[in-house]
A and B are shown apart, each in its own frame.
Chain A
Amino acid sequence: MGGVKSIPSPAISTDERSHEVDHPSSQVAHFGAEQPLRLDCGVDLTPFQIAYQTYGELNADRSNAVLICHALTGDQHVANVHPVTGKPGWWETLVGPGRPIDPKQYFIICSNVIGGCMGSTGPASINPSTGKVWGLDFPVITIPDMVRAQAMLVDRLGIDTLFAVVGGSMGGMQVLQWTAAYPARVFSALAIACSTRHSAQNIAFHELGRQAVMADPDWHGGGYADHGIHPHRGLGVARMAAHITYLSDAALHRKFGRRMQDRELPTFSFDADFQVESYLRYQGSSFVERFDANSYLYLTRAMDYFDIAADHGGVLAKAFADIKTRFCVVSFTSDWLFPTSESRALVHALNASSARVSFAEIETDRGHDAFLLDVPEFFDISRAFLQSAGKARGLKGS
């Protein structure tokens, strides 16, 4: 079986990856001992840093700031060429000149989440008390921790109220956490393909991914950095499994069907005979080039713990009591990771709080990933929602 290939080693060395961790190609906000990040687990994280990108100009009355929250494997490079992969920004369909979130109109901020691996402090960063990589000594973080850190960054930038907080998937969870924790600081909230709590099925998929990472002998109990290696096989498998959940049966069938990869007949081996296998292997191997395995464990864990209602006596509506924020909730018909029923539950809670909410379900067969793709109806809705909110906010050009 000499032809059988598993996930290839990353083309980028561990050294290059860790360079972005500690010295990101972004702006960095440093928070010293006088400003610790109080984590839900009870630990004060200090010192720490937040890497972020901004686009556009903050207006004179500081009322046009839009915070973009990235998803599980995203980062702060929302609308610029990625420094590691050389690919375009991950949300250039929505953010950029002529797009619904246009830097001509808004001051756009996107920061790498705490626990991430693109420059904000996380398990791949150096623990200042030991001089070594944090690894599993890094405290477990939550979605509220990520948002608390973002609020400190927004303070640092001299912004009191954000015009809008926008995000999909894990980014959408942060949007909702922003509105629950800092309702007066969020004028409008665009929460896409997300939920107020992570479902049992989603926790199960995350556990599968984490077990794949931890089953890789190169993981070394999380201490792989000390061995100068990276558990790319385990992380690649985790990414392959997760990637299936971002698509849909119909989308996979349309894209690949049962077509063969560069061959007419089956090879009677475990080589990637099918195009869909080849595609998944590519997804796995390209992901490990830019992502840290421990970071993946921490961020999936943060999503698992997320449950806004639980933080408010089990009643979701209490989280949004008397909220003035204008909401727009968007779901996609074929998204089975964050199905429309989850968005509907959120909308019911917002209705019960008499919040101003728009809710649109968009028909597409592209699954959860639809929020990152070219879906014109989604852009029309985003643009109209932000323009209407801009009018209410008195923003020029709205």
Chain B
Amino acid sequence: MSVQEVLPLGGVATGQSGDFRADHRLVAEMVKPGSKVLDVGCGEGDLLQLLETRGIDGRGIELSREGVNRCVAKGLAVVQGDADTDLVNYPDDAFDYVILSQTLQATRQPRVVLENLLRIGRRAIVSFPNFGFWKMRLQLLIGGHMPRTENLPATWYDTANIHFCTIKDFVQLCDEINVKMERSVALDLYGRPVPLNLPWWVWNMFGEQGVFLLSRGGGK
């Protein structure tokens, strides 16, 4: 199993305070200043804007035309594209980091996408909603219906999120495809990191989302 640690969140407050989302600030903290980054599924460019303030050369791919056009109108280098089909066009090692923020669960082939992230980028940062979160479990167990939360309000029949997973599932996939987890952070409902000294099952239960810094594992 990989290393768990608390990130050096120097100067960056957690929680929903400030202009930027907690998970975005956490992701931005993981990126070394001056590096070149591709944000896959960049939405309206909030994370890219945050990265830009840190002197990072950011590019984006976004599926929705409205999202792309808003990004471009902010002066961001964003193209319309699909994580499932367009990542193949990028050459190996084109970026220092490839970020997949809250998008993994919406891809058709998460495993292939993850492999592409670590082909294009020397490192990948992946964040996703944890379906093992206790509120999710409770809704299924007690309510008997597919979970819906504030962050994931769509019903099962109109959601774009077709491949939900838990933190445990994701860790298993990383092991399977020989991906090294350099840093792993679970954020609770309030965007605070779950303390590192707790066992994995606690993370999987109390992490509302997981954020992982990944690199290519050595040969197996």
Contacts and interface: CB of A to CB of B under 8 A. Distances in A.
Contacts of B76: 358, 388
Interface string B72-96: 1111111111000010011100110
| Size class of the contact patch on chain B | 20 to 34
B145 interface: no
A315 to B, nearest CB: 12
B94 A360 contact: no
Interface in A352-366: 352, 354, 356-363
A80 interface: no
A303 interface: no
Given A347-B79, A351-B79, A328 B72 contact: yes
| Size class of the contact patch on chain A | 20 to 34
Interface of A: 326, 328-329, 344, 347-348, 351-352, 354, 356-363, 377, 380-381, 384-385, 387-389, 391
A360 B90 contact: no
A358 B78 contact: yes
A387 B72 CA distance: 11
Interface of B: 36, 57, 59, 65, 68-69, 71-81, 86, 89-91, 94-95
Contacts, number: 66
A388 B89 contact: no
B75 A360 contact: no
Given A354-B90, A358-B71, 16 more contacts: A351-B79, A352-B90, A354-B36, A357-B77, A357-B79, A358-B78, A359-B79, A359-B80, A361-B80, A363-B65, A381-B69, A381-B72, A384-B72, A385-B72, A388-B76, A389-B75
Nearest to B75: A388
Given A351-B89, A354-B94, A362 B69 contact: yes
Instruction: Give the 9 A-B residue pairs with the shortest CB-CB distance, closest first.
Output: A388-B75, A359-B79, A348-B89, A384-B75, A358-B72, A360-B72, A380-B73, A384-B73, A354-B94
24 contacts: A328-B72, A347-B79, A347-B81, A351-B79, A351-B86, A351-B90, A351-B94, A354-B36, A354-B91, A354-B94, A354-B95, A356-B57, A358-B71, A358-B72, A358-B76, A359-B78, A360-B68, A361-B69, A363-B65, A377-B73, A380-B73, A384-B74, A385-B75, A387-B75
A326 B72 CA distance: 12
B69 A352 contact: no
Contacts of A344: 80
Given A328-B72, A377-B69, A381-B69, A358 B89 contact: no
A358 B79 contact: yes
A360 B75 CA distance: 12
Contacts of A358: 71-72, 76-79
Contacts of A356: 57, 59, 77
A380 B73 CA distance: 6
A108 B86 CA distance: 36
A381 B73 contact: yes
Which of A328, A361, A381 has the most C-beta atoms of chain B within 10 angstroms of its own C-beta?
A381
A358 B62 CA distance: 11
A359 B75 contact: no
Contacts of A347: 79, 81
Which of B69, B94, B95 has the most C-beta atoms of chain A within 10 angstroms of its own C-beta?
B69
Given A384-B74, A387-B75, A360 B69 contact: yes
B86 A348 contact: yes
A348 B75 CA distance: 20
A354 to B, nearest CB: 5
Given A359-B79, A360-B80, A361-B80, A352 B91 contact: yes
A391 B75 CA distance: 10
Contacts of A348: 86, 89
Contact of B89 (A328, A352, A360): A352
A362 B65 CA distance: 8
A331 B86 CA distance: 18
Contacts of B95: 354
A192 B168 CA distance: 47
A132 B80 CA distance: 52
